[in-house]
Copies of this chain bind each other. A is one copy, B any other.
């Protein structure tokens, strides 16, 4: 169990992430449907969504299932895996690989509320009986 495993997909960018989020929410959507979800919020044109979908397919992050003359797009990677990878990356880059340091930092800078702390404590009890 080391933290240096390479992901099978290439790096997902900020803009692409918005698209992934839509597909994680519900897969098998058309480009138009994805656009409905994000174009307004991000001020994108439909063309932009199409580009991002293409790039995500190329990167191996989503699948394009033919459906008539269009595609239904679905994530190929799970959100949890992506999120885990990103978190790991952050911890490696900024906290010397120590997740505990990250938690410590969050606590010190009061990024963690009392509720957060309680929740984490509960979590720990579960993980280390």
> What residue of chain B has the Cβ atom nearest to residue A118's Cβ?
B128
Contact B99 A84 (CB under 8 A): no
Whether the pair B99, A116 counts as a contact (CB closer than 8 A) is: yes
A127-B111 Cα distance, complex, nearest whole Å: 13
CB distance from A99 to the nearest CB of B (A): 5
State whether A116 and B94 are in contact (beta carbons under 8 Å apart), knowing that A110-B1, A128-B121 are contacts in the complex.
Answer: no
How far apart are A18's CB and chain B's nearest CB, in angstroms? 10
Tell me the count of chain A residues lying within 8 A, CB to CB, of chain B.
41
Distance of A87 Cα from B123 Cα, bound (Å): 20
For the complex, would chain A's binding face be called helix, strand, loop or mixed by DSSP majority? helix
- At the interface, yes or no: A8 with Cβ under 8 Å from chain B? no
Contacts of A116 in B (CB 8 A): 98-100, 103
Contacts of A109 in B (CB 8 A): 80, 84
Q: A120-B120, A121-B124 are in contact. Are A86 and B91 (CB under 8 A)?
A: no
Is A105 close to B, CB under 8 A?
yes
Interface residues of A (CB under 8 A from B): 1, 3, 14, 17, 80, 83-84, 86-88, 90-91, 93-95, 98-100, 102-107, 109-121, 123-124, 127-128
